[in-house]
Structure 1
Amino acid sequence: MRTQKSEAARKWGLRIHLLLYVLSNLAQVVVWFLYDSGSHFWPVWSIVFWGIGLAFHIWSVYSPPQSNTAR
């Protein structure tokens, strides 16, 4: 059973994760653009794979709680 405090903490943690994802990947894109824009778009690896982790984090926060009843 999720408590109200733990739910708020989960959402706060997700916001921090999302903020760090956006800022870090934006910084990588800027560095790529300024110094290496003629080559392969290497920030894609961070965007995609970190994005998968972020998607799982979003899913874990917003998925309905499962009951712990034994069958």
Structure 2
Amino acid sequence: MTTKSAAAQIWGLRIHAICYVVGNLIQVAVWRAYTPDHFFWPLWSIVGWAVGLAFHAWFTRSPYTPKVRH
């Protein structure tokens, strides 16, 4: 088992954040196009995915580095 470099972890976090923004913009566009007068249903995935993104950022930015045993 190997650990990723700090640069690779940051790159992964950036990709996750870009996917978060693009995916949620698409959902909001679909909501706006088809059901703007109903409940804002993209809220659930925006909040849920934000929790995952927050944990990803936390683990990426935390100073803790696990010790790998061989």
Same fold (TM over 0.5): yes
Using structure 1 for the length normalisation, give the TM-score. Answer: 0.84
RMSD, aligned α-carbons = 1.7
Residue in 1 that maps onto 2:59: 60
The structure with the greater share of residues assigned to helix is 1
CA–CA separation in structure 1 for the residues paired with 2:66 and 2:47: 32
Q: What are the Cα deviations for residues 1-30 of structure 1, in whole angstroms up to 9, with x where unaligned? A: xx8x61000000000000000000000001
Residue in 2 that maps onto 1:40: 39
Identity %: 55
* Aligned amino acid, residue 53 of structure 2: L
Using structure 2 for the length normalisation, give the TM-score. Answer: 0.85
Unpaired segments ≥5 residues, structure 1: none
- Quick one: structure 1 residues 9 and 28, their matched pair in 2 at CA, closer, same or farther if it must change by over 3 Å? same
CA–CA separation in structure 1 for the residues paired with 2:36 and 2:66: 50
Unpaired segments ≥5 residues, structure 2: none
CA–CA separation in structure 2 for the residues paired with 1:20 and 1:67: 27
Structure 1 moving runs of 4+ over 3 Å: none
